[in-house]
Chain A
Amino acid sequence: MSERAQRLLELADDELVLGWRNSEWTGIAPSLEEDVAFSSIAQNEIGHARALYELAAADLGTTADELAFDRQPGEYRAAPLVELRFVPDWGRTIARHYLYETADEARIAALKGSSDADVAGLAAKIDREEVYHRLHAEMWVDRLLASPDGRVRLIDATRELWPYALGILDDDLRPTWAERVRERLGVDLTNGDAIARGAHADDWTALWDEMTMVRRSVPGAQW
């Protein structure tokens, strides 16, 4: 597999799996307005995954659907951070949302400067939607930091997820992003070891099983 296809799949898998996890809040978010907003973000992430899979599929001589649903669990390249199941813990969900969106911002910004015109163009399109994901994450961080209980929930969850979050970015982008998070949250987070992609969270197999069950129910069908 080409380096390009490999990198596209990492991105696409992150977006698909996080979109799936965020969509688990549809119908049970803390308020109706939040239900609509978070479901919309989830749907955007899956849309980004689709566009990224299409680019990769052209390189690999396959289709976006086959990449999204027909691989074995061990073949996915998603970071373990996005595989974790948090429902019904909103504090952890927002901590992951903030950590992922800020890391993704750094990654997308780098891709916008890519010499590969297709990749740079898609990154620019994705970034225009991600602006609203970041606004959403930042407003929730403000809200949680504003109350003692919210603050404890957000900081505890961030500390717990920190090694996973470090696994999103490559070494070159990681330090600047990590410093930004430390400053924003006002907490001391040591760099430490990252839980990197390639490994999978324990929650992953059950998610893969559910995510692919319909495709697997009639193998090879034209839908």
Chain B
Amino acid sequence: MTSVWEVFRQERKGQAFEHAGSVVAPDIAFAEAYAHEQYGRRGESVALWVVPRDAIHELDDFPDELGRNYHRVDGYSLKVKLKEARERAGTATP
């Protein structure tokens, strides 16, 4: 029985680990060996985390029923408001 192991790699000491990809392996010994070969042999990593996919809790439900887009960084667009303000002031840019 093989399972999926997610691999995170650290590029330099002190940096955050980032998701690198995954390997398919029957146990942790194989997962470590395969991760080492695929994500570590070219000097691209100083450390790896190898995690069984089953151990990861995924959250993917973020309801926004009331459209409160001002909670989001992209929710408050200045572009349209600025254009309207310029038109009102008669200073619209060419």
Given A40-B41, A139-B30, A33 and B25 contact (CB-CB distance below 8 Å): yes
Q: Which residues of B are found within 8 Å of A33, using beta-carbon distances? A: 23-25, 30, 34, 38
Question: Which partner residue on chain B sits nearest A142 by CB separation?
Answer: B29
Docked Cα-Cα span, A23 to B31, in Å, equals: 21
Is A135 in contact with chain B by the CB < 8 A criterion?
A: yes
Q: Which 10 A-B pairs have the closest CB atoms?
A: A139-B29, A33-B34, A37-B37, A40-B37, A136-B33, A33-B23, A36-B37, A37-B34, A33-B24, A36-B38
**How many A residues touch the partner, as a band?**
10 to 19
**How many B residues touch the partner, as a band?**
10 to 19
Binding site for B on A (CB under 8 A): 31-34, 36-37, 40, 132, 135-136, 139, 142-143
Q: Which residues of A are found within 8 Å of B37, using beta-carbon distances? A: 36-37, 40, 132
Q: Which residues of A are found within 8 Å of B25, using beta-carbon distances? A: 33
Q: Name which of B23, B30, B38 has the most chain A CB atoms within 10 A of its CB.
A: B30
Q: Are B33 and A135 in contact (CB under 8 A)?
A: yes
Docked Cα-Cα span, A149 to B54, in Å, equals: 29
Docked Cα-Cα span, A135 to B35, in Å, equals: 13
Q: Can you give 23 contacting A-B residue pairs, CB < 8 Å? A: A31-B2, A31-B24, A33-B24, A33-B25, A33-B30, A33-B38, A36-B34, A36-B37, A36-B38, A37-B33, A37-B34, A37-B37, A40-B37, A132-B33, A132-B36, A132-B37, A135-B33, A139-B29, A139-B30, A139-B33, A142-B29, A143-B27, A143-B30
Docked Cα-Cα span, A31 to B38, in Å, equals: 14
Q: Which residues of B are found within 8 Å of A136, using beta-carbon distances? A: 33
Docked Cα-Cα span, A53 to B80, in Å, equals: 70
Docked Cα-Cα span, A40 to B26, in Å, equals: 20
Docked Cα-Cα span, A136 to B25, in Å, equals: 13
Other contacts beyond A31-B2, A40-B37, A132-B36: 13, CB < 8 A: A31-B24, A33-B24, A33-B25, A33-B30, A33-B34, A34-B34, A37-B33, A37-B37, A40-B41, A132-B37, A135-B29, A142-B29, A143-B27
Docked Cα-Cα span, A135 to B27, in Å, equals: 14
Docked Cα-Cα span, A139 to B24, in Å, equals: 15
Q: Which residues of B are found within 8 Å of A40, using beta-carbon distances? A: 37, 41
Docked Cα-Cα span, A107 to B84, in Å, equals: 80
Smallest CB–CB gap between A202 and chain B, Å?
A: 33
Question: Which partner residue on chain A sits nearest B24 by CB separation?
Answer: A33
Q: Which residues of B are found within 8 Å of A135, using beta-carbon distances? A: 29, 33
Docked Cα-Cα span, A86 to B36, in Å, equals: 26
